[in-house]
Amino acid sequence: MKNEVMRHKMTEFYKATAYTHNYIFGYAYKKNVYMTIATDEVLNEIITLDKAGHNEGMAIKFKPNNAQKLMLMSINNEPICTEEYLESLFKESKYNRGEIFEKIITEKYGQTWTKDNVPYTEDGDITINGIAYQIKYQKATFLTEKGMIKKMGR
């Protein structure tokens, strides 16, 4: 129960402080990588509480199981590439899978991708037709407990 309260508290804090409430979620399913465009209304259904790395306490993450992937697919879905293709790009790159997915999506929309560290409170990862989106690939962290405390000004 305590974990559920923490997950809910962190999710609500994230939603309240996010620059955008629009998302492009990426996930692998049956050897293909898909994207779903959704709003933050789905966050409570797809966010998991997990340990954060580097002594940052707990974290809320996008680690969808198959049921959550199917739920996202029922909203909308678009095949992006094979999982094998994403993995080959990952192995040839200094970037993580999330950054590779973000690059693929950015280029899909005719934009040039550059690695940045703009906080989620200041902008999205991509703007399409005037709408900012956060791009999240499976296993992505939304917010750590340490990050939340820092943003709260403690």
pLDDT tens per residue, range 14-31: 999 999 999 999 999 999
Contact between 33 and 79 under an 8 Å Cβ cutoff? The reply is yes
pLDDT tens per residue, range 38-54: 999 999 999 999 999 88
DSSP readout, the chain?
Answer: -HHHHHHHHHHHHHHHH-S-SEEEEEEEETTEEEEEEEEGGGHHHHEEEEEPSTT--EEEEE---HHHHHHHHHH--EEEEEHHHHHHHHHTSSS-HHHHHHHHHHHHTT---------TTT--SEEETTEEEEEEETTEEEEEHHHHHHHTT-
Mean pLDDT along residues 116-120: 93
Using 50, 70 and 90 to split pLDDT, how confident is the model at 66? very high
Please tell me the predicted confidence (pLDDT) of residue 70. Answer: 98
pTM, rounded to two decimals? 0.95
Q: State yes or no: pLDDT of 99 exceeds 90.
A: yes
Mean pLDDT of the chain: 96
Contact between 25 and 69 under an 8 Å Cβ cutoff? The reply is no
Q: Which residue has the higher pLDDT, 133 or 151?
A: 133
In the chain, where the domains are located: 2-145
Contact between 13 and 143 under an 8 Å Cβ cutoff? The reply is yes
Please tell me the predicted confidence (pLDDT) of residue 104. Answer: 98
Please tell me the predicted confidence (pLDDT) of residue 154. Answer: 55
